[in-house]
Structure 1
Amino acid sequence: MEISLDKVATSVLFVIMTTLSCMILNWVWLRPKYLERCLRKQGLVGNSYRLFFGDTKDSSMMVKQACSKPIELSDDIVPRVLPFEQHTVKRYGKNSFTWLGPRPRVNIMSPEQIKDVFTKIGDFQKPKPNPLTRLLAMGVINYEGEKWAKHRKIINPAFHLEKLKWNDIYQELRTES
């Protein structure tokens, strides 16, 4: 009862290819569709998931179209800077989602819900940046959990209304002298 090396190699290759195919299928189709279903159950609305690119093509097309038009100083800047986001909010409302490839991006514009997200440290996680982004852009924006809470507590007083008013007064005094 001799097992040939070719049969073993073929079997191992078949297992590897099947596992890899299942992982790709899960990443590209099954997980995004599952996340879409969960988001819709929670009352959020948005575009249906499209394979690989999601809403990326629509977004880049809208940005290109918005940049091709001239803009005046008195014009609203939102349609120029964030045309796809503005379109999504107009079409689906303030609580909606879009797709960045196979990942959903949830838009929340209700102050109570935003406060809820910022106060629950471990429940809402940021997407993991790629290694190049981590290398180039480190700071409070990339912190998570307790480290984020600690740094937020440190910088929060800088954004109180009284301090901002003093900064405006200081700037006026500097420009006058």
Structure 2
Amino acid sequence: MDDLEATASLPPWTLIQGLLSLLVAFLTYLAAERWYLHPWRLSRVLREQGICGTSYQFPAGDLKQSGQLNAEAWSKPMALCHDIIPRVIPHVHNTIKEHGNICFSWLGPVPKVIIGDAVSVRDILSNKLGHIMKFTSKRSGELLAFGIANHDGEKWAKHRRILNPAFH
């Protein structure tokens, strides 16, 4: 009974302080999950599948290196040839050169799988099993018109059948 009376006589700020510390601990866990643990797990899964890539760098991934490579590529005049990839997307070109035709890079805490082989791209995009989902973003969806590029599933197939004769 004395313990109950001692607990009841605690100042109210200790309860508030305890709740705030729980909230801070929970928010710290969420931040660690989003910015460290989840990218680490994704990197491990990709490497287990045989896909090599750059290591994750907190918090922006490869954005700093990408910016440096872009600045370096744009500082030099462009050669008079048709090989524009090192100038337009130097980070992707560098990653493919270092890690092979199928590799990954980091865009913040999200891995970006890069496929540099045209035959593999054709096989992946022609796969009708539905494993490849379209990237959807609420922000870009508001800016873009709702055309065939934004549709998925049956709606995409219907629009594709309608538009296909125009391209052949």
TM-score, length of structure 1 as denominator length: 0.75
Tell me the equivalent position of 1:115.
Answer: 123
Which structure 2 residues correspond to residues 1-177 of structure 1 after superposition, within 5 A? 1=5, 2=8, 4-108=11-115, 109=117, 111-112=119-120, 114-116=122-124, 118-120=126-128, 122-129=130-137, 131=139, 133-138=140-145, 139-159=147-167, 163=168
SS of 2:131's equivalent? Answer: coil
SS of 1:119's equivalent? Answer: coil
Tell me the equivalent position of 1:168.
Answer: none
Mark the CA change 1:100 to 1:42 in structure 2 (over 3 Å): closer, same or farther.
same
Measure, in 2, the Cα distance between the counterparts of 1:81 and 1:143: 29
Measure, in 1, the Cα distance between the counterparts of 2:17 and 2:134: 41
Q: CA RMSD in A?
A: 2.5
Structure 2 residue runs without a partner (length 5+): none
The answer as to whether partners of 1:44 and 1:96 remain within 8 angstroms in 2 is: yes
How many residue pairs were aligned?
A: 159
The answer as to whether partners of 1:121 and 1:145 remain within 8 angstroms in 2 is: no
Mark the CA change 1:147 to 1:49 in structure 2 (over 3 Å): closer, same or farther.
farther
The answer as to whether partners of 1:121 and 1:146 remain within 8 angstroms in 2 is: no
TM-score, length of structure 2 as denominator length: 0.79
Identity %: 36
Return the offset for 1:27: 0.6
Return the offset for 1:70: 1.5
The answer as to whether partners of 1:121 and 1:149 remain within 8 angstroms in 2 is: no
SS of 1:20's equivalent? Answer: helix
Measure, in 2, the Cα distance between the counterparts of 1:12 and 1:145: 47
Comparing 50-59 and 11-20, the one that deviates more = 11-20
Measure, in 2, the Cα distance between the counterparts of 1:125 and 1:73: 38
Comparing 16-25 and 139-148, the one that deviates more = 139-148
Measure, in 2, the Cα distance between the counterparts of 1:128 and 1:11: 40
Measure, in 1, the Cα distance between the counterparts of 2:127 and 2:29: 37
Measure, in 2, the Cα distance between the counterparts of 1:50 and 1:90: 20
Cα shift readout 1:4-35 (whole Å, capped 9, x = no counterpart) = 43232222212211111100001110000000
Measure, in 2, the Cα distance between the counterparts of 1:21 and 1:96: 31
